[in-house]
Structure 1
């Protein structure tokens, strides 16, 4: 197992290299100097104003959003897997992403008839759907003894099934143009991001990430079990409630901005756990850096795969994440039967 500072350093360098790659290459022009030309006057003289605008107005905001969304999704995955004490748990397991998708697709399909067309209405609907779903699941799973994890997971399964049925109903009545937009949104993309929503996105996602990091020691004690955590002074019911709300807010904001991006919250914590172990103070920052790196790299691959068009980023993350996840399951099976 590599040392923690070395892994952090390598991940930071990898993110820097990925940022240079993402800013300097694309359908318009590929030149490594573009990654520095937008802020270094010595390189900016070699490029036109249009080429610099492509970097500052298109590539840079989607890179920044990809980094923060990838970090938050991976961090939320760490929190959910610790809360459920299940390595197969991810933020979408309790229906957060499904609830966000249900309201967002409703606006995409029928919003124009109600005067609610536009990216902002879709984002607002996705965020409200994630928040309402998380509160509903929390209320259903709450008892006099706190939140029951088994009931929480079962409620999430039921919410996912209900949301899938409603999405199918929306798809049945939607127009052909709306169906295409709905399909593209469900696969996730960073293509529509601009500078305008980024301050609010960084504020909401940054707040959720900071609060989860603030509670890292209490989350780490949950690894010992709920009873042992209580003996060590952790208010377990309150901690569960906080984790559910913070994960819902973080994932809801991410889904509202990018659509549904799978496998980041599921696979990235596994990879980080292989590198630094299960201790949350080490696992969480490594998972966040790794999630940011993977999502930024996946976005670059989505842009470069079929230029000048681009693939939905959810396809790239699924193609990268699913085989690795199957590999992890096979390795775990071999250790179990060894």
Structure 2
């Protein structure tokens, strides 16, 4: 089955490309030129065959949004897969562990109180302050959950989930306070963060996301065999020559970096890191050598599908993408709980 991994990746990438083309044509606005070949040729040749309105909708609205959905869906899915492998539990996702809530909380503090923070930091860091604070929130939450739930290399699932619940509850409490004291513009931004959306996509944000994800994937994606060994137990993995502690530190820091960046640009999008690994695990068991790279593609497929539905279901308005992923993820979460009940 491992020998077929390149074939699986090629087929899934073709599916993603097809979905991206379909998503490009979905929406209220109808392009003057209906052929994808004509649109693509006009963009490449820049021969004036595409109207300014077509070019604006294509290059400044839909394409950046499609790219952001692909990047964020992939990052959230890989983050969830890595955390599940590290904790050896299918419930270990960024949302259920409170990591997303921690990143959202620090992002919300920056939105409401950033005007008081910015005078004390160099102006060159003002643009990246939100992303940096979201990363700090995700990292601190990840460290807290890991320290509280892991003893002598063994993870207490109950403590892990309760810590995530506590962090999420604290995040909601502070968020409520921030909503109470926020101004109208800040309240609008906070609402955007709570519901999750990729409507604020831009090529600058996509460039930052692409750099962060590329660096993280360079380290995380080859860790499939190490995660397979860690499923046997950390001590057994060490006997097989796996540097367990180093890998765990890399997963903690890099998943926090990806989640923090995603939250900074798209807000809270839940359950992507739960849905994709669960479906892939049904097909490929717990073989992370296959699941890890495939989750990077199928996370993109899931979020791009959800975003396409969100902006075409009730035109001209759109349903926040975080609501759709929650509707998809909650039943799967219940199924996992029912199936895990026998082993708890």
Task: With the length of structure 2 as denominator, give the TM-score of the two structures.
Answer: 0.84
Task: Give 1:71's aligned residue.
Answer: 74
Shift of 1:212: 0.7
**Correspondence list, 1:1-338, <5 A:** 4=5, 7-29=8-30, 33=34, 35-41=36-42, 47-111=50-114, 121-137=129-145, 149-150=155-156, 155-327=163-335, 332=339
C-alpha distance in 1 between matches for 2:309 and 2:47: 26
1:60-84 Cα offsets, whole Å, 9 max, x none, are: 1121121121111111111111111
Task: Give 2:122's aligned residue.
Answer: none
Question: In 2 relative to 1, CA 218–310 (structure 1 residues): closer, same or farther, beyond 3 Å?
Answer: same
Task: With the length of structure 1 as denominator, give the TM-score of the two structures.
Answer: 0.85
Question: In 2 relative to 1, CA 324–152 (structure 1 residues): closer, same or farther, beyond 3 Å?
Answer: closer
Question: In 2 relative to 1, CA 323–132 (structure 1 residues): closer, same or farther, beyond 3 Å?
Answer: closer
Shift of 1:120: 5.4
Shift of 1:167: 1.5
C-alpha contact 1:38 1:44 (8 A) present in aligned 2: no
C-alpha distance in 2 between matches for 1:52 and 1:172: 41
Question: In 2 relative to 1, CA 49–126 (structure 1 residues): closer, same or farther, beyond 3 Å?
Answer: same
C-alpha contact 2:306 2:324 (8 A) present in aligned 1: yes
SS in 2 for 1:278: coil
C-alpha contact 2:69 2:307 (8 A) present in aligned 1: yes
1:184-222 Cα offsets, whole Å, 9 max, x none, are: 211111111111122221111221122111322212211
C-alpha contact 1:188 1:261 (8 A) present in aligned 2: yes
Shift of 1:32: 8.2
Shift of 1:128: 3.3
Question: In 2 relative to 1, CA 35–76 (structure 1 residues): closer, same or farther, beyond 3 Å?
Answer: farther
C-alpha contact 1:98 1:159 (8 A) present in aligned 2: yes
C-alpha contact 2:209 2:261 (8 A) present in aligned 1: yes
Question: In 2 relative to 1, CA 127–52 (structure 1 residues): closer, same or farther, beyond 3 Å?
Answer: same
Shift of 1:265: 0.3
C-alpha distance in 2 between matches for 1:202 and 1:282: 22
Tell me the matched-pair count.
Answer: 332
C-alpha contact 1:4 1:276 (8 A) present in aligned 2: no
Question: In 2 relative to 1, CA 279–177 (structure 1 residues): closer, same or farther, beyond 3 Å?
Answer: same
Shift of 1:155: 4.3
Shift of 1:234: 1.7
Task: Give 2:123's aligned residue.
Answer: none
Bigger shift: residues 260-269 or 42-51:
42-51
C-alpha distance in 1 between matches for 2:223 and 2:335: 32
Shift of 1:93: 3.5
C-alpha contact 2:224 2:290 (8 A) present in aligned 1: no
C-alpha distance in 2 between matches for 1:325 and 1:160: 17
Bigger shift: residues 134-143 or 61-70:
134-143
C-alpha contact 2:310 2:321 (8 A) present in aligned 1: yes
SS in 2 for 1:40: helix
Unmatched 5+ stretches in structure 2: 120-125
Shift of 1:135: 4.6
Shift of 1:17: 1.3
